[in-house]
Amino acid sequence: MPGFLIHVGASVLCSHGGQVQATAPNPRVSVSGQPSVTLPAPWLVAGCALPPPPAANGPCVTAQFVTAATRVTSSGQPLLLFDSQAICAPTGTPLLIVASQTRVTAM
């Protein structure tokens, strides 16, 4: 199923409200004037509200996407889509892509 490409300016949150930012933008493909992001790029989480042990297993520190486009790549790496799935470490919770560009789709 096609989805919108994710760019560096997309609004991405951890499940506990922390802001998430890509660490390695892909400058070869731009959408809405901003670099896209490929699958292997790690993401950093700031401001996660989940308490540390022993109260919980938080806060979220990093995240890694596990799904991406299957037919569209850049520099040999799949590009991230609005419906791509990610897992936060050390909590194991998903990321929430809240808003992104709506002009370019991929599959």
- pLDDT given at position 39: 97
- pLDDT given at position 36: 97
- Which pLDDT tens digit goes with each residue over 67-100? 999 999 999 999 999 999 999 999 999 999 999 9
Mean of pLDDT over the chain? 96
Q: Which domain holds residue 29?
A: 3-97
User: Is 106 within a domain?
Assistant: no
- Which pLDDT tens digit goes with each residue over 29-65? 999 999 999 999 999 999 999 999 999 999 999 999 9
**Start-to-end Cα distance in the chain:** 6
Q: Work out how many domains the chain is built from and give that number.
A: 1
User: Is 74 within a domain?
Assistant: yes
pLDDT of residue 1 exceeding 90: no
CATH number at residue 92: 2.60.200
Task: Please write down the HEC assignment for all residues of 53-98.
Answer: CCCCCCCCCEEEECCCCCCCEECCEEECECCCCEEEECCCCEEEEE
- pLDDT given at position 3: 95
